[in-house]
Amino acid sequence: MSRERREIIYSICIIIAIPLLFAGNTLFITKRIKDDTNRNARSNADTVNTMIAEGIRTSVESKKYSETNAILKSMKEHQPTIGSIYVVARDNNTFKIVASTDDAPKTLAQNDTLQLSIIFERARSAAKRIDGQDSSGEDVKGWNVISPLLESNSTTVEAAVSTDVLTSDTEELIAKTLVTSFEITAFTAVIIVILLFHHLRFVGYADLLRRQKELNQTMNDFLSVATHELKAPMAVIEGNISNILDGAFGKLPDEFVHPVNNVTLQTDRLNNLVQDLLNVSRIEQGRINFEFKNVNIREIIDTMVRNYMGPAESKGIQLTYNPEGVADVYADDGRVQEIITNLVDNAIKYTPKGSVVITHRKEGNALVTSVRDTGPGMTDVERGRLFQRFYRVKNEHTEGIPGTGLGLWIIKQYAEKMGGDITVSSIVGAGTEFTIMLPIAKDVPQKPDTPAQPPANTETKSVA
């Protein structure tokens, strides 16, 4: 059985078992409460009946039954939990109710007579549950206890006292409490089932995430191996093409110059793709090394502007650099050059006409460098996905423009690992602005023999 199936079966068992355990626990507690309540009620009824019997002992022994009636009615008035009370005396082989709290004393049934016979013979009390209705139609619950009243200094039973001790109010309160308990248990069980169903979904998500990690790792391993294997033949191709163009194999016929130059261009594109894939693999595996130092970003941008001035002018684009507010940054100069190159190249590549402007400003401890163009711009959805791997904006303005969708993802990783960030703002039809935030250079240069580290407390802010 697969691991996924075992996890699903385990989750289903939990979903079934936990509510059942809750329900079983509630039923068990309910039964215990009812049993304990009945036991306590029976004990209390015995105690109450014994006290009543002692209270009327004198009047019964002297056979002053009218006085006994008055005592019983007084007891009932002061004890709302006491129902009917009556006293039974034996005359030869018959039993007679001699005192009662009821104006119309009950008639002894055959079962009552049999029970009284046993009580008089054995001098032991007896009790039974009351579950019915009184004369007014209200539900009555409780215990009926019949206790023997012994003659003074004798074991002979002179009379028997029967008392109804009511527990209706107590049982009603217990019933309400139990209903509330069941409702809470049912609500809790529903919540648990919902949570467990979510757990089952999370198991699926966890398995999906594990598969995604395995797939990513496989992809990274493939990229690492493939790019390394591609670099060697690419170097051979570039070397031979360069020798052909330099005339190492003889003068190249004029009609072959253009095709060979085209091969050189496409080889450069392929080499850039291989390099991007290699950088992705290194970033994913954490094998990118940074040599931090104070970097003159103005020199890097000046060189970049000179290199791209020709391509910009050929498209009728005005490439402008305003160094006002510039400052050295603390970063890896090679990575900074890659970032600036990528952004300037994209700005010129995706701007059909207009301008590309590079400016600086300081924000706290960060230097913010902006590359703003007058290109077609992007929608919010496109801008939100711009820094994802392999994502490229696809519309009528980008058709025919080569690219892999890796460059922006790579340089954003570079910026973040150097303690900075890259953000973008764009308006459709008005243009796009990229901002690079990098830590401003330290005042005191590091010693050559001290390993360079990124600044610990660099303030970086997103700029729209």
Which option is the CATH number for 176-284: 1.10.287, 1.10.3470, 1.25.40, 1.10.150? Answer: 1.10.287
Top mean pLDDT of 24-33, 128-137, 329-338 is at 329-338
Q: Are 165 and 141 in contact (CB under 8 A)?
A: no
Mean pLDDT of 227-234: 71
Q: Is pLDDT of 428 > 70?
A: yes
Q: Is pLDDT of 446 > 50?
A: no
User: How confident is residue 118, by pLDDT bands cut at 50, 70 and 90?
Assistant: confident
What is the predicted pLDDT for the residue at 459?
38
What is the predicted pLDDT for the residue at 301?
93
Check residues 382 and 461 and name the one with the higher pLDDT: 382
What tens digit of pLDDT does each residue of 304-359 get? 999 899 989 999 999 999 999 999 999 999 889 999 998 998 899 889 889 999 99
What span, in angstroms and rounded, lies between the C-alpha atoms of 436 and 369?
Answer: 5
Mean pLDDT of 388-394: 76
The mean of the pLDDT values for the chain is 79
Counting residues of the chain whose pLDDT is more than 90, the rounded percentage is: 18
Check residues 449 and 278 and name the one with the higher pLDDT: 278
What is the predicted pLDDT for the residue at 445?
46
Q: Is pLDDT of 437 > 90?
A: yes
User: How confident is residue 78, by pLDDT bands cut at 50, 70 and 90?
Assistant: confident
CA distances from residue 184 to 15, 20, 180, 286 in whole angstroms, order as listed:
18, 14, 6, 52
What is the predicted pLDDT for the residue at 137?
66
**DSSP helix/strand/coil, 314:** helix
> Which range (81-90, 261-270, 367-376, 421-430) has the least confidence?
261-270
User: How confident is residue 457, by pLDDT bands cut at 50, 70 and 90?
Assistant: very low
What is the predicted pLDDT for the residue at 322?
93
Check residues 300 and 121 and name the one with the higher pLDDT: 300
What is the predicted pLDDT for the residue at 355?
93
User: How confident is residue 297, by pLDDT bands cut at 50, 70 and 90?
Assistant: very high
What tens digit of pLDDT does each residue of 92-112 get? 778 888 888 887 677 787 778
* Residues facing residue 49 across a β-bridge: none
3-class DSSP string for 91-152: ECCEEEEEEECCCCCCCCCHHHHHHHHHHHHHCCCEEEEEEEECCCCCEEEEEEEEEEEECC
What is the predicted pLDDT for the residue at 447?
43
Q: Is pLDDT of 226 > 70?
A: no
Instruction: List the domain boundaries for the chain.
Output: 3-166, 176-284, 293-439
Mean pLDDT of 386-408: 74
Number of H helices, E strands in the chain: 10, 12
310 Cβ partners below 8 Å, 6+ apart? none
What is the predicted pLDDT for the residue at 420?
93
Top mean pLDDT of 49-58, 391-400, 434-443 is at 434-443
Check residues 457 and 80 and name the one with the higher pLDDT: 80
Q: Is pLDDT of 274 > 90?
A: no
User: How confident is residue 181, by pLDDT bands cut at 50, 70 and 90?
Assistant: confident
Top mean pLDDT of 111-115, 282-286, 302-306 is at 302-306
Quick one: DSSP state of residue 398?
T
Mean pLDDT of 252-272: 79
Q: Is pLDDT of 228 > 70?
A: no
What is the predicted pLDDT for the residue at 199?
67
CATH architecture classification, 3-166: 2-Layer Sandwich (3.30)
What is the predicted pLDDT for the residue at 7?
66
User: How confident is residue 448, by pLDDT bands cut at 50, 70 and 90?
Assistant: very low
User: How confident is residue 456, by pLDDT bands cut at 50, 70 and 90?
Assistant: very low
User: How confident is residue 461, by pLDDT bands cut at 50, 70 and 90?
Assistant: very low
What is the predicted pLDDT for the residue at 400?
63
User: How confident is residue 191, by pLDDT bands cut at 50, 70 and 90?
Assistant: confident
Type of residue found at 164: D
> Which range (129-133, 135-139, 407-411) has the least confidence?
135-139
User: How confident is residue 1, by pLDDT bands cut at 50, 70 and 90?
Assistant: low
What span, in angstroms and rounded, lies between the C-alpha atoms of 23 and 186?
Answer: 8
Type of residue found at 314: S
What is the predicted pLDDT for the residue at 403?
66
* Domain 293-439 sits in CATH 3.30.230.10: no
Burial of 368 from C-beta contacts in 10 A (0-12 / 13-18 / 19+)? buried
Angle made by CA atoms 391, 271, 274, in degrees to the nearest 5: 50
What is the predicted pLDDT for the residue at 462?
32
With left for phi above 0 and alpha for psi between -120 and 50, is residue 143 left, alpha or beta?
A: beta
